[in-house]
Chain A
Amino acid sequence: MTHHEYDVVIVGAGGAGMRAALESSQRSRTAVLTKLYPTRSHTGAAQGGMAAALANVEDDSAEWHVFDTVKGGDYLVDQDAAEILCHEAIDAVLDLEKMGLPFNRTPDGKVDQRRFGGHTRNHGEAAVRRSCYSADRTGHMILQTLYQQCIKQEVEFFNEYYVLDLILDSDPQAAAPGEDVAVAGVVALELSTGEIHTFRAKSVIFATGGAGKVFKTTSNAHTLTGDGMGIALGAGLPLEDMEFFQFHPTGLAGLGILLSEAARGEGGILRNSTGERFMERYAPTIKDLAPRDMVARAMANEVREGRGCGPHKDYVLLDLTHLEPAHIDEKLPDITEFARTYLGVEPYTEPVPVYPTAHYAMGGIPTNVRGEVLRNNTDVVKGLYAAGECACVSVHGANRLGTNSLLDINVFGRRAGIAAAEYAASVSEAPAFPDDADTRVRTMVETLLSTVGGTGTERVADVRRALQETMDRNVQVFRDAGTLEEAKGVVAQLKERYKDVAIHDRGKRFNTDLLEAVELQFLLEIAEVVVEGALERRESRGGHYREDFPTRDDENFLHHTMAYASADGVRLDTKPVVITKYPPMERKY
């Protein structure tokens, strides 16, 4: 075991982690621990753009952006946080431009902007051009630019280190309200050696990204297994609003690979088997550019009413054939290439088969607007921060608007980086680091390794597949008490089966077999929280749609869900929503 000491430890080197690192490394001794090389993080897969009311091409205002974010999130957004998000958006984009990000440009040389779902002029009048973009690889450019700045600032990275545990100075569930609980550090496994490292730190920032791999059909990377969320839950911290998962309308059918909403922002149209532009029926004003939850449900509804396309009538079509090929090549080169490579479809001349794909976790580790992690509705854990997709501030409420996540990671990544460094400067020492801090991780690794050639009868891949299939079948766009109860039962069985998993790699070095088993454990825990939250929420709001409770119920459910792990399973609580300017209204587009 090797022990390290830092002021600030950041877990994750995607957009949120690196944006935080740029701030904290200027102010304090910072280490960034990441299970992937920074440039492999899934921020690099983001396509369409980053929202900011720059008003470079038409009239726009940060306040309209706030309204759209709140309405898009079906009024579950904390409005104080949304105000920060949208007002700081402008500087966030300008900062990236100054760091060198190659945005597409207007004829007069400014950052160009395009339309995106749910972003409107003057509280819903018409779609507005608010998304700042770089072709259809905006996330790639953000990740590259932040990495380049980290090189410039000589940020210290620990690449291919898997953080598996969080060390606090006391049990956050046992502590009385108001009592201090502080972070002491993290425990990580170094992939190349299998060695366990402990990192003591005054501040820790979690920026570990999403958990899309709880589902089978997803736009998320194999590595998005909700590690940070799982670790927080295991350390006695709550997860907020996990029942809200976004299903993006346009995944490549059967594969889940994303085709950005930018395709519709640039003029693409969704059609059913009769060729009808069906979104005209569901959202007469903004049609194909309605928020994602509405479009995804509309698509699923077309399919189940028999108007799906293809031999099994199980997908709809994204039609770009009326766009000029030159325009497609300039604005949507990558995603049209995905259609060619993976489905053998030529988007210039053929419509592309698409279907909703699990895309984004609106919920996560609860934080306040400084990025500080909450251990209950009011108390923070001192020195512990979270930002990006693993966190829930909550700026996305029940449904995130496209282009608001790349914004979120920059705005709240930056805030967490500053706050973590300032906190570190304000305390003389991190809490004492227990000698046996690595026990939990060591035991977990040894237990799993002891199954090699031993008695375990279950394969990690089989348990994972069963989990993903049940989540797709029962907890996707449409849910009801029956499907959720079924999923609950299956997840419970799978947790039992997990106890018998066997891994095959007996080595220490690059044991990805072992790490897949660990990741599966996080997935199972997160799936359980998603299902329990969805069962309890007997209403429909944003990305969570209950067929047995098809309307929003503000009287009983205008609150966040707070889920805690306990000895007898998931314990649920609620947290009030912060409403400043926009009282809930009916959500029509």
Chain B
Amino acid sequence: MTATAESPTAGEVATMRVELQVLRMNPEGTHERKAGESYWDFFVVEAHPTDRVLDALHKIKWEHDGSLAFRRSCAHGVCGSDAMRINARNRLACKTLLKDLNPARPIKIEPIKGLPVEKDLIVDMEPFFASYREIMPFLMTSGAAPARERLQSPEERARYDDTTKCIMCAACTTACPVFWTDGQYFGPQAIVGAHRFIFDSRDEGQWDRLEVLNDKAGVWKCRTAFNCTEACPRGIEVTKAISEVKKALTTGEI
């Protein structure tokens, strides 16, 4: 007796033909392509409507072209590895089901924008993490630590709950038109990361962080385009977090 279950839908639902159009780049070149040249590659795979875009990419890699490069790990939207542009929107490939995309046209997949492409769908994440480090993303306190836990009421805890959900996928930052044109801008994720501490009742580093965000590369660059909020796979209200940070800066109150 085996202990394996088929997906409740698999079996009844027929597979479908899925066309994918992937923007590729090989830094070393191939026999058909120059090093660094970007080009569209087309693939057709058989998949279930309930499969993820990530499953379709795996089918390409595992059955058609092993050289297709992308990052992934958890496959259920919690590790932040596989943000990409899917039909011109930033999404996680592992959280986007094929049935939710228009079947009439090929699925268009591109790397996220604004970070240097290293190979196919893989971009250099270092500038993104560097911005995060800038905002000093760690609890800052003074005085001796208490023997037990620091107390925090459920209400105080709720104040910054939303921004603790961030998985650093960069979907928000690389959906931001300001970030695309201004390489200096920290981008929405760094502000989300700062918000998580600024509004934590235990933290005493708010003003140091706010000073960083008040800088020319900081929060004032945001034009409230809302692209970030739409892109966030964790449903974080990114624009709201940014406006709360702006308000703290203008009113001097947290």
Contacts and interface: CB of A to CB of B under 8 A. Distances in A.
B45 to A, nearest CB: 13
A94 B151 CA distance: 11
B14 interface: no
Interface in B140-167: 145, 148-154, 156-157, 160-161, 164-165, 167
B4 A473 contact: yes
B73 A36 contact: yes
B138 A355 contact: no
Nearest to B76: A257
Nearest to B52: A342
A343 interface: yes
A94 B63 contact: no
B56 interface: no
Contacts, number: 209
B8 A510 contact: no
Contacts of A503: 66
Given A105-B154, A509-B27, A342 B76 contact: yes
A504 B73 CA distance: 21
A45 B79 contact: yes
Interface string B206-249: 00000000000000000000000000000000000000000000
**What is the predominant secondary structure among interface residues of chain B facing chain A?**
loop
Contacts of B251: none
A478 B132 CA distance: 47
A251 B73 CA distance: 18
Contacts of B1: 300, 304, 478
A472 B4 contact: yes
Interface string A144-186: 1000110110000000000000000000000000000000000
Contacts of A104: 154, 157
Interface in A196-226: 216-217, 221-223
B54 to A, nearest CB: 9
A253 B8 contact: yes
Interface in B50-83: 50, 58, 61-63, 65-67, 69-81
A106 B202 CA distance: 16
Nearest to B5: A355
Contact of A39 (B28, B76, B80): B80
B19 interface: no
A281 interface: no
Given A151-B133, A254-B7, A477-B3, A39 B168 contact: yes
A148 B12 contact: no
Contact of B3 (A41, A100, A110, A478): A478
Nearest to B65: A504
Contact of B164 (A102, A296, A312): A102
B202 A221 contact: no
Given A36-B81, A44-B78, A254-B10, A509 B119 contact: yes
Given A39-B168, A102-B160, A109-B152, A460 B62 contact: yes
Contact of A476 (B4, B81, B118): B4
Interface string B104-138: 00000000000000111010010001001100111
Interface residues of A, number: 83
B69 A510 contact: yes
Interface string A320-344: 0000000000000010001001111
B78 A222 contact: no
Interface in B87-115: 95, 97
A515 B194 CA distance: 36
Nearest to A107: B154
A223 B73 contact: yes
Nearest to B7: A254
B137 A507 contact: no
Given A39-B167, A97-B149, A476 B11 contact: no
Interface in A494-539: 503-513
Interface in B1-29: 1-12, 26-28
B73 A341 contact: no
B167 A44 contact: yes
Contact of B149 (A94, A152, A344): A94
A26 B160 CA distance: 30
B4 A216 contact: yes
Interface of A: 36-37, 39-42, 44-45, 93-94, 97-100, 102-111, 134-135, 137, 140-141, 144, 148-149, 151-152, 192, 216-217, 221-223, 247, 253-255, 257, 296, 300, 303-304, 310-312, 314-315, 334, 338, 341-344, 353, 355-356, 459-461, 472-474, 476-478, 503-513
Given A344-B50, A476-B2, A513-B66, 11 more contacts: A45-B74, A100-B139, A107-B153, A216-B4, A217-B4, A221-B79, A312-B6, A344-B9, A503-B66, A510-B27, A512-B70
Interface of B: 1-12, 26-28, 30, 50, 58, 61-63, 65-67, 69-81, 95, 97, 118-120, 122, 125, 129, 132-133, 136-139, 145, 148-154, 156-157, 160-161, 164-165, 167-168, 197, 200, 202-203
